Amino acid sequence: MKPFAITLDVGTSLANHTGSWRNERPVYLDRLPPCNAACPAGENIQAWLYHAEEGDYHAAWQEIMQHNPMPAIMGRVCYHACEGACNRGKVDEAVGIHAVERFLGDEAQKKGWTVDCASPSGKNVLVIGAGPSGLSAAYHLARLGHAVTIHEAGPFSGGMMRFGIPKYRLPREVLDAEVQRILDMGVTLKVDSKVDDIQALMKDGGFDACFVAVGAHLAKRANIPAGDASHILDAVSMLRGMETEAEPPLLGRRVVVYGGGNTAVDVARTAKRLGASEALIVYRRTREQMPAHDFEMEEAEEEGVLVHWLRTIKQIEDTTFTVEKMALNDDGWPEPTGEFETIEADTLVLALGQDVDTSFLEKVPGVNIAKDGVVDVDETMMTGCDGIFAGGDMVPAERTVTVAVGHGKKAARNIDAYLRRFRYKPPPKHEVAEFENLNSWYYTDADQRVQPALDLIRRQTTFQEVLGGLDETNALFEARRCLSCGNCFECDNCYGVCPDNAVIKLGPGKRFEFNYDYCKGCGMCVAECPCGAIKMVPEEN
Amino acid sequence: MTKAKTKSKAKTALQKVKFYQTGTLTVGNRLMDEDARSVQASMDRSNALTSGHRACQGCGEALGARYAIDAAMRAVNNRIVAVNATGCLEVFTTPYPETAWSIPWIHSLFGNAAAVATGVAAANRVKGRKDVKVIAQGGDGGTTDIGFGCLSGMFERNDDVLYICYDNEAYMNTGVQRSSATPPTARTATTPSVGDKPGNVFGTGKNLPLIAMAHNIPYVATASVSDLHDLETKVTRAMDIKGSRYIHIFVPCPLGWGTAAHDTIRIARLAMESGLFPLFEAEHGEVNSSSPIRRQVPVEDYLRPQRRFAHLFKKGHEDTESIARLQAMADANIKRFNLLRKHNQRDEL
C-alpha cells in the first residue's frame, strides 16, 4: 500500500545498496543444543520441548518416539545428563527435562497414543533379552518394517528396569504399559526362553539378523571370611526376589549393604521399606568418589539410610562385622590403615557390580569376549560374527537404562542397513551451542518447577512412587523455560534490531533471511540473538 | 485525569503476559497473541525509515527513529507528517534527491523544527484535517541547544505536536562536538581528553525531559533503543494525547562514542541498568511511572567499553574520583525515579 500523501517514487534510498560497505556478513546457522549432545539415547530434546511449549504434547511425544520408545520410563529413571549440560543452569536452574518427558510419557499412556510403522520388509530379526536395549532395538526394528521376536530368559520383560530398579522409582504399571505398546506393534515376546545356541535358533527360526542384549546379571562376589551362620545375599538376587518371589527376602532388623553404586543405594532403600530399622551402606571410598548419583543419595539419606565411608569389610562372625578404616593416598586410592572397628548386623547384601554371562556366546565363531568379560562390538554394534549385533550392559559402555536404549536404536538402524544392504551413516553433527553464544538478557527469570514428593513415612514403609509428576500447567511452564540454544525460535529479534531493515521475515515456521543488498554487517543481529543462531563470517573479497 | 485519558491508558498499557519463554523482552514471540507483540515484529510494519540510508554501521539513531515512527504510524493509521531538524537523521536519510523516508517529511533549518511543526499543525487545524498528526524530530544538538527556544515556545503554547529527540549526546554529523546533552568526562572534538580533568566538565548541560516537564505539558517520556516494547508503548500513548508531547530516546552512536557497531543495544541497556539513563513517564509535570532496573550494573560496566571514556581507565591512572561522581549521578537517578524497587520479573503462567 502506498503511504498517505507520498508522490515521490524515484529518488528512494533503496537505490543505494549499502551492502557494499560490509566486510563481514551475518549467516543463520543451527547449533547442537548441549542437552541433545549429552543424551545417551540421542533424543532431540530441544525439538520436543519446542512442541511442548506450544502445548502440542502429541507432536512432542511423537518427536521423542523417533529416538526413545519409553518416555514414561525414561522421565523417571534416566540420570538426565541433559540437565547437567543445560545452559539454563548458568542463568538460574537447568530445565527439568526429565519431568516434562515423564509428563509426555504419562499423557501418551492416558490418551493411548501410538506410532506408525513402515510397510513390512519381509525380514525377521531375533532379539535376545527383553531389557531396555532389547526392547528399544525391537521397537525401532518394528518401526522400520521388520518382524521381531524377542527371547527372554526370565519370566517377565523389562530386564534391569524390573529386576534392578525398585518400584518406588518405577511403578510396574508404567513399565508394563510402555512394554505393551511395543508388543502391540507386532513384536513377539517369548519369556522363560533362554537361548543357548544362537546360530541354531537363527537357522531354525529363519532369522536374518540377531541383536543380543542379555545384560549383566551375575553378581560380583567378594572374598570375605564368614561363619556358616552369616546371612549374605547379593544385590541382584535380592532385588530380583522382590519381583519374582511371593514373599520378600528376609533381611532382619539391621542390614549392611556393601558397595557405592546406585544399586547399593536401591538395596538400602528397599531394605528400609521392608522394615529394617537400620540400613547401612559400607563403601571403601568417599562420597565424592561414589558412583551413585547425588539425588539418589540425598533421597536415601532423607529416608534414614546411613553410610560409612572409607571402610572395607574384613571378616564376619555371625552378626559381628569387622571393618577396617581406609585412608586415601596421594593418588586418591583408598589404602588400609590397620585400624579396625566392629558393626552388628543381621544381613550383608553385596552390591559390588555385575558381570555378563557370556557362556552362550563363546561358541559363536568370530565373537570376541574382551578381558573384562564384556563383548566386543564395532562402530555398527556388530560382534565379530556377521549378522549378530550386541548392546546394553553386555558391551563396553556406561551401564544405564538410557545408554541401553541408545544402543538399541543404534543397533536397529545398523541392522536395518545390514538387511537392506547399505551402510547407515549418521548425519553430521553441528557445533555445540555454548553459553557464550547466547544473550541471556532476553530470557525472563523463571524458577524450575518442583515435582511433588511422597511424605517421608510412606517412603519408609511402602513402595509407592517417591516422586510425583508435574501437572499440565507446570509441565508447560517448565518446557517454556527452554532457551532453544543454537536454534532459531522466531523471537523476531534479528528482524527488529537491524538498523538497516535488512532482515526479511518469511512468516511463521519459515524463519528469516538476510537482505545482503542493504546489510552493512554491523553484527547487531548476532549480538542480540538470544539463542546463538546467527554468526558473522568474513566476506570473501 | 479525564475519562478519555483513562481509557487510552488501559488500551496502551504494557500487557501483563504469561510466561512465554522470553516474556516480552524479545521483539516478537511465537507463543504470544499477535497484538501483544511489538510493531517491529509485524511482517507489515511500515518501515518508515527504509533500507539504503547512509547511517553508519550499527546506528542507534536509525534504529530508534524506525522504532518510533513505525509505532506512531500504527497508532494513527499512517496519518502523520514529520518535521526534521538538521542533524545526522536528516543528512543520512535524505541526501537530495534521494530519501529513506516513506512518510510525508519536511526539513527546514537546524533550529526551527518545533516552529515548523507548529505551523504544520496550525495549517491542519485551519484545513480541518483532524486525522493528520504532526511529529517533529531531531538530535540532541537540534533539540537541547539550537532549537531549544522554538521548542520551549511550542511547549508553552501547548501546540499539538509530538517532539521526539534522538539523544546521542553530541553533534555527530559535524564531527562529534560537545552538546548540552554530552555527559561529564566524555571526550568529544571540543572536549578533548587532555589536561587535569579531561573530557567534558561536571556541572554543565541540560536535562531536557525535566525541562519539558517544567512546562507542564500533557506528556513527557524517556525511552531507549534497548527496550523496544517500552518505547512503542510510550509513542503509542503519546499519539493518543492532544497537545505538546515530548519523548527523549537514548540512541548510542558507535562512531562518536567509540563502541563496536554490534554493541549499540548492549550499551543502551547498560545505560539503563546502571541508572545513568532512567526510563520514566510524566503527565502534566508529574512523574507517574518508571521502569525498574532488572539486573543492576555499576556505571563502570557502561563506561568502560566506550572509547570516549577511555581516559577514565588509563592503566595505573584510573580516574576513580570521576567514576565515583558518575556513579553518584546514577545513584541519584535510581533514588529519584525509584528504579530499584522489586518488580515481579516472573510473569505468571
Whether residue A257 contacts residue A280, with contact meaning beta carbons closer than 8 Å, is answered with: yes
| Distance (Å) of CA A216 to CA A139, A152, A383, A495, B333 | 21, 14, 17, 55, 68
Domain map (residue ranges) of chain A? 4-30+488-538, 36-114+434-479, 124-217+356-419, 220-352
> What pLDDT does A408 receive?
98
CB spacing of B100 vs A12 below 8 angstroms? yes
Whole-angstrom distance, CA of residue A431 vs CA of residue B260: 26
Specify the CATH number for A124-217+356-419; select among 3.40.50.300, 3.90.1150.10, 3.50.50.60, 3.40.190.100.
3.50.50.60
> What pLDDT does B9 receive?
37
Give the CATH superfamily of A220-352: FAD/NAD(P)-binding domain (3.50.50.60)
Residue numbers of B between 57 and 76 with CB closer than 8 Å to A: 57-60, 62-63, 66
Which residue of B262, B264, B295 is the best one to mutate when testing the A interface, meaning the one whose CB has the most A CBs within 10 A?
B262
CB spacing of B98 vs A13 below 8 angstroms? yes
ipTM of the complex: 0.92
Q: How far is A61 from chain B (nearest CA, A)?
A: 19
- Dig out the grid coordinates for B180 from the structure: 548540552
> What pTM, to 2 d.p., does this model score?
0.90
Give the class (CATH, top level) of B42-348: alpha beta
3-class SS of residue A483: coil
> What pLDDT does A490 receive?
94
> What pLDDT does B33 receive?
83
Whole-angstrom distance, CA of residue B174 vs CA of residue B187: 15
Question: Could you read off the pLDDT of A223-257 as tens digits, one per residue?
Answer: 888 887 788 999 999 999 999 988 888 898 999 99
| Closest partner CB to B22 (pick from A444, A502, A526) | A444
CB spacing of B51 vs A528 below 8 angstroms? no
Give the class (CATH, top level) of A36-114+434-479: mainly alpha
CB spacing of B264 vs A522 below 8 angstroms? yes
- Dig out the grid coordinates for A344 from the structure: 552388628
| Closest partner CB to B57 (pick from A53, A442, A522) | A522
What type of residue sits at position A181? R
Q: Is B134 on the interface with A (CB under 8 A)?
A: no
Q: How far is CA A452 from the centre of its chain?
A: 22
Domain map (residue ranges) of chain B? 42-348
Question: Could you read off the pLDDT of B222-264 as tens digits, one per residue?
Answer: 999 999 999 999 999 999 999 999 999 999 999 999 999 999 9
Whole-angstrom distance, CA of residue B206 vs CA of residue B140: 10
Residue numbers of B between 282 and 301 with CB closer than 8 Å to A: 295
Answer yes or no: is pLDDT of B346 > 70. no
> What pLDDT does A9 receive?
58
CB spacing of B104 vs A477 below 8 angstroms? no
CB spacing of A480 vs B59 below 8 angstroms? no
Q: How far is B100 from chain A (nearest CA, A)?
A: 5
More confident site: B19 or B337: B337
Same fold, A124-217+356-419 and A220-352: yes
Rounded mean pLDDT of B42-60?
Answer: 96
> What pLDDT does A7 receive?
59
Residues of A in contact with B37 (CB under 8 A): 492
- The residue of chain B nearest to residue A484, with distances taken between CA atoms, is B21
Whole-angstrom distance, CA of residue B145 vs CA of residue A334: 78
| Closest partner CB to A53 (pick from B21, B58, B260) | B21
Q: Is B123 on the interface with A (CB under 8 A)?
A: no
Which residue of A51, A442, A444 is the best one to mutate when testing the B interface, meaning the one whose CB has the most B CBs within 10 A?
A444
Whole-angstrom distance, CA of residue B313 vs CA of residue B300: 9
Is 3.30.70.20 the CATH classification of the domain at A4-30+488-538? yes
Q: Is B100 on the interface with A (CB under 8 A)?
A: yes
- The residue of chain B nearest to residue A496, with distances taken between CA atoms, is B40
Residues in chain A where the model's pLDDT stays below 50: none
| Closest partner CB to B26 (pick from A54, A442, A445) | A442
CB spacing of A12 vs B23 below 8 angstroms? no
- What are the residues whose beta carbons fall under 8 Å from the beta carbon of A379, sequence distance 6 or more? none
> What pLDDT does B34 receive?
84
Q: What is the mean pLDDT of chain B?
A: 91
Lowest-confidence region among A93-107, B34-48, B260-274: B34-48
Q: How far is CA A383 from the centre of its chain?
A: 24
Task: Label residue A146 exposed, middle or buried (CB < 10 Å: 0-12, 13-18, 19+).
Answer: buried
Whole-angstrom distance, CA of residue A273 vs CA of residue A511: 54
What order do you get walking across the sheet with A188-190 strand by strand? A188-190, A147-151, A124-128, A209-212, A388-390
Q: Is B50 on the interface with A (CB under 8 A)?
A: yes
Whole-angstrom distance, CA of residue A298 vs CA of residue A81: 18
